[in-house]
Amino acid sequence: MAEQDADNRVAAVVIMAAGAGTRMKSAVPKVLHRVAGKSMVALAIDTADALSPDRLVVVVGHQRELVTEHLAEIAPHVTIAIQERPLGTGDAVRAGLAALPGVVGEIVVTSGDVPLLEAETLIDLVAAHREGGNAVTVLSAVVPDPTGYGRIVRDGEEVARIVEQSDATAEELAIVEINSGIYVFDAATLGEGLAALQAANAQGELYLTDVISHAHDAGRRVGARVLADYLQTEGVNDRLQLAERGAELNRRILAHWMAEGVTVLDPATTWVQAGVDLAEDVTLLPGTSLEGATSVGRGATIGPDTTLIDVEVGENARVLRTHAELAVIGDDATVGPFSFLRPGTEIGTRAHIGAFVETKKAVIGDGAKVPHLTYCGDAVVGEGSNIGAGTIFANYDGLGKYTSTVGAHSFVGSDSVLVAPVHIADGAYVAAGSTITADVGPGELAVSRGQQRNIRGWVARKRPGTATAAAAEAALAPTEPREHAAEGTESGE
């Protein structure tokens, strides 16, 4: 988001987010569908916040309860306005203006379904509005295919009116400069224009665009700021467009990070959400998805085939073929392949989490190793300790979950079970195959397993006629004696 500046401040921003979005064919309101990890309305709010508006109004209508609940969670500073019936964009903005009694100054109107719109674009639009001394300024663009958009009809350098696709003549349909649906209004001009709206169009709706012709006919200056990057103006009306806007925003995010010194080996298979932070010399390998508030330190390598959600990765760490959420990975640590880090995992500097290891609420000390085939839940593993293959931290007794600890520079042998809560002290050993139910003191070796018995002849008696029995019989057969040396050899006889 662009840096906020007092020079950018406007009286209000009104975001239209009341539409039903029927072409989405979804139980989820259109503006709550996500692009780059955020709802489209959240992206619109982030962009609007760059103008430091005195008031920010979001107009809701369809499934208003869901949208309002979401807004309370992500943007408690916004004011909610309700469009009771879907009577068009003019009616939606009229509902927004009703939430701004006595407002004076500039009002920016934008939409909750244009996820590529950038903060710098709104800042530039406001600057152009002021420089031109306009009563209204429209953000427009020249697009390859204007089908479906309102067309900008000019009167010299000024805008005379905007005609919607369904109301346009053949001549007007040939116009390629389109209306983005994003505007700056003088508050008085907007109020007067809204009051004069009539539903005299093919759709029987109150068009916000009619405020433009009202202002022009009243002799007020209406300008247009043509946006070269027309993709910013493209909205989302269906799932295909949602995917297209998402892919484009991801491409732009990756381009930004590559310009900042991040290596992305295969942009086509790499996804980075809007809230992610990457340092210089990070390398992202194919199949990587970085989500939420994930941050990656300088020199770290992520991937291939890795998903990190709200994960903090330290400098020079290596994370491959791993799924991790709400975890911390320390400097120079290595994780993977095929590791699963669940919330609450903290991995220390130079620590190692290996193949087919699952952690949950586990604190792994500096230089400690959990190399393979281990469940490490509700655990604290001390500095320099080693957890053998197949170890289970049995943390749940059916009623509650408990924590076990392994001290510094201790060793837990393979195929052991630590039944929580137990404490393995510093410098202790657990023999392979042990089930530990009591604490182990410093320097002690804990052995908890049955004594081995070998029952002779069991296979011959219990599994006669099998391949196993035949193999055993052959192995037990007496070895043929070697032939004696022939007489007269070099034995000296």
> Measured between alpha carbons, how far is 296 from 102 in angstroms, rounded to an integer?
47
Q: Are residues 321 and 265 in the same domain?
A: yes
Q: What is the pLDDT of residue 480?
A: 59
pLDDT tens per residue across span 121-180: 999 999 999 999 999 999 999 999 999 899 999 999 999 999 999 889 999 999 999 999
Domains contained in the chain, number: 2
Three-state DSSP at 37 gives coil
Catalytic residues: 372
Q: Are residues 39 and 127 in the same domain?
A: yes
Q: Are residues 281 and 208 in the same domain?
A: no
Percentage of the chain with pLDDT > 70?
Answer: 96
Q: Could you give the count of Cα atoms lying within 13 Å of 25 in the half-sphere of its Cβ? A: 4
> Measured between alpha carbons, how far is 321 from 266 in angstroms, rounded to an integer?
16
Q: Are residues 226 and 268 in the same domain?
A: no
With respect to residue 250, please indicate whether it lies within any of the assigned structural domains.
Answer: no
With respect to residue 158, please indicate whether it lies within any of the assigned structural domains.
Answer: yes
> Measured between alpha carbons, how far is 440 from 425 in angstroms, rounded to an integer?
6
The answer, yes or no, to whether residue 213 has pLDDT greater than 80, is: yes
Q: Are residues 270 and 224 in the same domain?
A: no
With respect to residue 489, please indicate whether it lies within any of the assigned structural domains.
Answer: no
The answer, yes or no, to whether residue 198 has pLDDT greater than 80, is: yes
Q: Are residues 199 and 69 in the same domain?
A: yes
- Domain limits for position 352: 260-446
> Measured between alpha carbons, how far is 98 from 116 in angstroms, rounded to an integer?
28
With respect to residue 318, please indicate whether it lies within any of the assigned structural domains.
Answer: yes
Amino acid at 185: F
In this structure, what CATH number is given to the domain that contains residue 107?
A: 3.90.550.10
In this structure, what CATH number is given to the domain that contains residue 276?
A: 2.160.10.10
The answer, yes or no, to whether residue 492 has pLDDT greater than 50, is: no
With respect to residue 484, please indicate whether it lies within any of the assigned structural domains.
Answer: no
Q: Are residues 213 and 281 in the same domain?
A: no
Three-state DSSP at 354 gives strand
Domain end among 406, 431, 446: 446
Q: What is the pLDDT of residue 358?
A: 98
With respect to residue 84, please indicate whether it lies within any of the assigned structural domains.
Answer: yes
Residue range 299-328: mean pLDDT, rounded: 98
Q: Are residues 10 and 99 in the same domain?
A: yes
With respect to residue 294, please indicate whether it lies within any of the assigned structural domains.
Answer: yes
pLDDT, mean over the chain: 94
The answer, yes or no, to whether residue 486 has pLDDT greater than 50, is: no
CB atoms inside a 10 Å sphere around CB 169: 9
The answer, yes or no, to whether residue 201 has pLDDT greater than 80, is: no
Domain end among 431, 446, 461: 446
**Residue of 6, 216, 255 whose CA lies nearest to 118:** 255
Q: Are residues 214 and 301 in the same domain?
A: no
Q: Are residues 148 and 206 in the same domain?
A: yes
With respect to residue 345, please indicate whether it lies within any of the assigned structural domains.
Answer: yes
Q: Are residues 229 and 371 in the same domain?
A: no
Q: Are residues 94 and 176 in the same domain?
A: yes
